[in-house]
Structure 1
């Protein structure tokens, strides 16, 4: 993504220990997506930038061997896709993200990234008005660019233009 638009912020959590497993999953933090997915995310990012925000990416394409490791930590299909079926992340068609303001500070979304509980669910409404507005801005803008949220995570969006890409085990080169 960064070669297509360097104004995205990257915080690829699975390349660090700052994730729900507490283990580094990726050798380095990179964001890969299928070309049509990346192009539409760039268009959404342009709209956010006009409003004074930027996208911060937490995860993009995820090799399926990593999906197995995540499943070992949290074998709950509400939060981690079954690796034998694969996820949209394993196909290069999903992003985990949030919005930041002009100074790079994350907008408050009610929970941190990868919080597994009802408070992170899309339909959880017992939140302050500003948090509900932030979530709505994120979701409604991304919907315009063919990204759909999942019910249990405010940060996860799947590309939904009727293209199911093949599963991939490819692990990227960090050089």
Structure 2
């Protein structure tokens, strides 16, 4: 696809450190393929609902970590997520997103609070979220109401595991979790074993770590 200039790089290089906010401001000449650009999910599908938890105090750190409640992803990843939404709409369901792109500086704050690799990425290596190639989400019905799931978002217990078989999780919740996983996998996402809500886009390793502000990506009018 045709390339276009943007302030973030799409390539991973072991010889080049993650692009920081300062470096991003200084480097505006990177040519990035269209599918690797960072875009707002609303530019490809306005029906995906948002509940960006880290832009609120309703998260495990109990404080706001983002200034803007936006879902920003690599364009190719966003387009795949839009396909998931379109598929689910035919079934009378849809998506609600909790988190998408996450600046590396935020991951550092999370690691300080919970240094457990099962739930938070070690900032030394960074996460798929830091690459704009991961998403946390759930299912909603046709009216936008969340469907029952095995646990709440960011539940750091075994209830959030995909293999959890405890009697405290209903069959309806297990079924909803399976539906979400099946549709996400169908359109090119990989599920995380310890978090029913987390999915990585295939090819995530082809993107570099980022620590640029949400304001660097144009808002959807």
Q: Same fold (TM over 0.5)?
A: yes
Structure 1 equivalent of residue 81 of structure 2? 41
Give the aligned CA root-mean-square deviation in angstroms: 1.3
Match of 2:130 in 1: 90
Give the equivalent residue in structure 1 for 2:185. 143
Higher alpha-carbon Rg: 2
Alignment deviations for residues 96-144 of structure 1 (CA, whole Å, 9 cap, x no partner): 0001001211111021100001000111122321111101000011101
1:119 aligned to 2:159?
Answer: yes
Q: Could you say which residue in structure 2 is the equivalent of 1:70?
A: 110
The answer on 1:167 being equivalent to 2:188 is: no
What does residue 79 of structure 1 align with?
119
Ranges in structure 2 where 5+ consecutive residues have no aligned partner: 1-40
> Number of matched residues?
175
Give how far 1:171 is off: 1.2
2:98 is matched with which residue?
Answer: 58
CA–CA separation in structure 2 for the residues paired with 1:55 and 1:24? 23
Structure 1-normalised TM-score?
0.96
CA contact (8 A) 1:25 1:66 kept: yes
Q: Distance in 1 between matches of 2:128 and 2:196?
A: 16
Structure 1 residues without counterparts, runs of 5 or longer? none
Q: Find the counterpart in structure 2 of residue 21 from structure 1.
A: 61
CA drift at 1:163: 4.7
What's the counterpart of residue 197 of structure 2?
155
Distance in 1 (CA, whole Å) between partners of 2:113 and 2:173 is: 29
Local SS of the residue matching 2:72: coil
1:131 aligned onto 2:156 = no
CA distance in 2, matches of 1:156, 1:146: 13
The 4+ residue runs of structure 1 with deviation greater than 3 A are: none
Selected match of 1:107 from 147, 150, 163: 147
Could you tell me whether the CA contact under 8 Å between 1:125 and 1:132 is conserved in 2?
Answer: no
Matches of 1:4 and 1:39, distance apart in 2: 6
* Residues 128, 204 of structure 2: 8 Å contact kept: no
The residue number in structure 1 matching 2:31 is none
Scaled by the length of structure 2, the TM-score of the pair is 0.77
